[in-house]
Chain A
Amino acid sequence: MSIVTVQLGQCGNQIGREVFNAVCGDIHGTHGLCSKKENDSYHDACKERFFSEEESEVPVARAVLVDMEPKVISQTLSIAARSGYWKYDDRSHFCQKQGSGNNWANGYSVHGPRHKEVIMNLVQKEAEKCDRLGGFFTITSMAGGTGSGLGAFVTQSLRDAFPTSFILNHVIWPYGTGEVIVQNYNSVLTLSHLYQSADALLVHENDVIHKICAQLMNIKQISFRDVNQVIAHQLGSVFQPTYTAEGGLHYSRNPLGIDWQVRPPRLGSSIPSSHSTNKPLYFNTSIANLVILRGKDLHSVDLGSFRDPSLYTSWLNPQDAFNAWKTPRAFNKYEKSASLVSNSQFLLKPLDNVVGKAWNMFASKAYIHQYTKFGIEEEDFLDSFTALEQVISSYTSL
């Protein structure tokens, strides 16, 4: 099953390139501590997933690059080609000249409609190259103008054009202390819109990754490149082929098949209000958890603690909420590695923070004129706030 990646904006394109690098680096690594047959099987699954077979010496990434200014895309294309291991399709990109000025409204209401046809054509072409299309993976930041605004518009267009495909948005949560002053507005608008079109949102917070670089990796002068490489490594460890419990002999066909079909209890049924008092208070309540194990000694791993009911909300059975995927093939030269993908309350505090700050700013009407001049009105803001307060409320009551 193949994934078509759509990289939007500076952040999306910079990260996208690192992701393909990481994946390529992984399959070019040593035999991955497993049999040749295993390795070949892994190799093939990975290539089908991320690269297309074209008449080219190196694999061509299944990706569409979009940005409203040209510098980042041209850099991305050339860095990829220089690696010698893979490259992007020279025609699969679209850029303009002026950028979006960190303005979500500009990205969504102006660039979106204006360039929808061209962008969707590029996506269609990539989709057609796939024998079996698994879904779409978009990479964007929330703070800027293109990734966030145009990203939201493109996601909507993807949903319209491919109503049954799986759409996963990778969203970068900006540093708490601004990269962009209007980042909270842009974030609120982005999230509320993505909620309507995407199947799942995979989040990485810059502050958290920064800490990883500083404390776990001991990097002294942390650059965005370092941050992006950590993110890419994590994404690679999730998306590279694995065996799910069902398909024991073949690498799983469905790369993004996390079952997010959460069925909350029907309205009106009683929810014991004291259900949380028995829980250890230091764990966020989860709806679903996915553990991915790669490398040696898989059979000796005890995943029992992930099935502890106190981790999960009371109306879920841990058996339904927890999944484990494995492969004996080591990832990126790590003899053993484990990844956890979690749908839980972990994002509650950051989300509440962002909404709070945005609301604070909105109450004073600061910067609103910058959005209204491109067609996003105060009511649109209110709709977005409402949508996100609902999300916050839902997660809080888990």
Chain B
Amino acid sequence: MTQSVVVQVGQCGNQVGCRFWDLALREHAAVNKKGIYDEALSSFFRNVDTRSGGDGPDIYKGKICSLKARALLIDMEEGVVNEILQGPLRDVFDSKQLITDVSGSGNNWAVGHKLYGYQYRENIVEKLRKTAEHCDCLQCFFIIHSMGGGTGSGLGTFVLNLLEDEFPEVYRFVTSVYPSGEDDVITSPYNSVLAMKELNEHADCVLPIENESLFDIVNKIHQMINSGKLGSTVKQNSLVTSSAGSAKTVQEKPFDAMNILTSSARFEGSLNMDLNEISMNLVPFPRLHYLVSSLTPLYTLADVNVPSRRLDQMFSDAFSRDHQLIQADPKHSLYLACALLVRGNVQVSDLRRNIERLKPSLHFVSWNQEGWKTGLCSVPPVGHSHSLLALANNTCVKPTFIELKDRFMKLYKKKAHLHHYLHIDGMEQSCFSEAISSLSDLIEEYNELDATKGGPRTDPSRLKIAV
């Protein structure tokens, strides 16, 4: 069994990370009735004997004593992390897993990456090592952060770099929240593009998420509930209806995705799909590792009792624009590869039937016409009989990147706010030009692939053998 470590960086990263831990605990509580610390739990949690006070030894088998998340919480402001430590999840985190400072990064990537990076490097490495030592077989780091700010974006990508240096064999999955057009942080384009270069070069897989999409999804759920279509009661403490919670639900979606992604590693199924398989199957060229994710049913976590929609509808929904976690329409762009991970009582024939049904309406690149990776996990998610996560490597991410580039150029041409960055030790103009050129190259690679779409298909001629 393998373990994963979550590194949550910055305000957004930590808020969102919490939702993941909350979800993971609930899921395991629903499945693990006997309170025995099993392999599934160990993938994300340590079982610690806290009776002896302080940091007791890890307990590998037997009853659950005290579950500690395999996580590192990093923020250059204390507010969010402190809130977490006072909230319901306080026992899940170890004080030794936190790295905080007081003044924040001022929405400045350079402050996060160069200043705090340099300052906290050793501290971070040491804590990472400690976390890794507690793992029997560490397979993956999940990094959660946002792109638009200073800490998540700058320090987050610094940590990404660090992980590649210190743990080269361990996969680096990054969940990045991209800023929307109306972001109130003026310098978010700078921060995002500078961060993109790091993601291009050091991440194995990136799951981009856009707040706009999450808001749309939450609104959709609101509408469905309000219009009574769902026809059933909504629980009192439903996260969707509580006003304080609406921001939080938004942020749950990616964690849902992460949850499903790791479900095959944690639970059994007839066709297991492991994290290393995702990278293998969905990344045909090293830099094209941006995956569009969509999740059905949407309201898996909304605490809403909904009659299960037909299985096939679930598959159709996964490919609709409304269910994507970024503002993109994969159906009209080019698929390089697609993975479907299903949980629940779904069999291989259901999978095949739906793939056959949906295939004709999707455009796949010429050399990967049947590019599907499938996984079946027999344990359903909490509260539902089945769910589906679709991960696609699709050129529909291109518009997001092009917009980012445009917003960047608007500022850069006027040299607006540059001095805030350049006066940081280690920052130079070349950082900016290299970053934008990295992004441009990436966009170009997607362009080249798009150009092949719909064109005449000439297969390369086969080897001729002398008989």
User: Which residues of chain A have a CB within 8 Å of any CB of chain B?
Assistant: 10, 14, 69-72, 75, 97-103, 145, 175-182, 210, 213-214, 219-225, 227, 355-357, 359-361, 363-367, 369-370, 385-386, 389-390, 393, 397
Whether A223 lies near B349 (C-beta < 8 A) is yes
| Given contact pairs A97-B1, A98-B2, A177-B355, A224 touches B348 in the complex (Cβ within 8 A) | yes
Docked-complex contact B2 and A10, CB < 8 angstroms: no
Are A102 and B352 closer than 8 Å at their CB atoms? Answer: no
Q: Is B136 an interface residue (CB 8 A)?
A: yes
Q: How far is the CB of B363 from the nearest CB of chain A, in Å? A: 16
Asked if B372 CB lies within 8 Å of chain A CBs, one says: yes
Residue from A99, A100, A223, A389 within 8 A of B348 (CB atoms): A223
Closest Cβ of chain B to A358, distance in Å, is 10
Task: For the complex, give the distance between the alpha carbons of A10 and B369 in Å.
Answer: 26
Nearest-CB distance from A228 to chain B (Å)? 9
8 inter-chain pairs at a CB distance below 8 angstroms, sorted by A residue, are A10-B272, A98-B276, A175-B352, A179-B373, A181-B337, A224-B271, A369-B286, A389-B465
Interface string of B322-350 (1 = CB under 8 A from A): 00000000000000110100000001111
**Top 9 A-B residue pairs of the complex, sorted by shortest distance between their CB atoms:** A101-B276, A222-B349, A366-B284, A178-B372, A363-B460, A97-B137, A223-B347, A181-B281, A224-B270
Interface residues of B, Cβ cutoff 8 Å to A: 1-2, 136-137, 139, 268, 270-272, 274, 276-277, 279-286, 336-337, 339, 347-350, 352, 355-356, 359, 366-374, 376, 459-460, 462-465, 467
Residue pair A390, B370 in contact (C-beta under 8 Å):
no
Residues of chain A contacted by B467 (CB below 8 angstroms): 393, 397
Q: Tell me the bound Cα distance from A98 to B274 in angstroms.
A: 8
Q: How far is the CB of A183 from chain B (nearest CB, A)?
A: 9
Residues of chain B contacted by A213 (CB below 8 angstroms): 349
Which of these, B1, B348, B372, B459, contacts A70 with CB under 8 Å? B1
User: What's the nearest-Cβ distance from chain B to residue A366, in Å?
Assistant: 4
Q: Are A102 and B372 in contact (CB under 8 A)?
A: no
Which of chain B's residues have a CB closer than 8 A to the CB of A393? 465, 467
Chain B nearest CB from A369 CB (Å) reads 5
| B268 contact set on A, CB distance < 8 A | 71, 75
The one of B336, B372, B465 that contacts A390, using a Cβ cutoff of 8 Å: B465
Structural contact, B367 and A214, CB atoms closer than 8 A: no
Indicate if the CB atoms of B352 and A182 lie closer than 8 Å: no
| Shortest Cβ gap from A79 to chain B (Å) | 11
Contacting residue for A99 out of B277, B283, B376, CB 8 A: B277
In the complex, what residues of B have CB within 8 A of residue A145's CB? 277, 280
Asked if residues A177 and B359 are in contact (CB atoms below 8 Å), the reply is yes
Whether the Cβ atoms of A177 and B465 lie closer than 8 Å is no
Shortest Cβ distance from A371 into B: residue: B280
Pair B368/A361 contact, Cβ less than 8 Å: yes
9 more CB-based (< 8 A) A-B contacts, given A145-B277, A367-B284: A101-B276, A175-B352, A176-B370, A181-B368, A181-B373, A214-B349, A360-B366, A360-B459, A393-B465
Q: What chain A residues lie within 8 Å of B279 (beta carbons)? A: 101
Shortest distance in angstroms between A68's beta carbon and chain B's nearest beta carbon?
10
Query: What is the bound-complex CA distance between A176 and B371, given in angstroms?
Result: 10
Does B352 contact A210, Cβ atoms closer than 8 Å? yes
With A70-B1, A71-B268, A367-B284 in contact, do A98 and B137 touch (Cβ < 8 Å)?
Answer: yes
Given A69-B272, A369-B286, A180 contacting B281 (CB threshold 8 A): yes
CB distance from B274 to the nearest CB of A (A): 5
Instruction: Answer whether A179 and B459 are a contact pair too, CB < 8 Å, given A101-B279, A223-B348, A224-B348.
Output: no
Q: From the candidates B272, B277, B281, B350, name the one contacting A71 in the complex (CB within 8 A).
A: B272
Contact status B349-A221, CB under 8 Å: yes
Q: A177-B355, A181-B281 are in contact. Are A356 and B459 (CB under 8 A)?
A: yes
Contact between chains at B370 and A357 (CB < 8 Å): yes
Min CB distance, B388 to chain A, in Å? 16
A177-B348 in contact (CB<8A): no
Taken together as a complex, chains A and B put the C-alpha atoms of A397 and B276 apart, in Å, by 42
**Which of chain A's residues have a CB closer than 8 A to the CB of B139?**
98
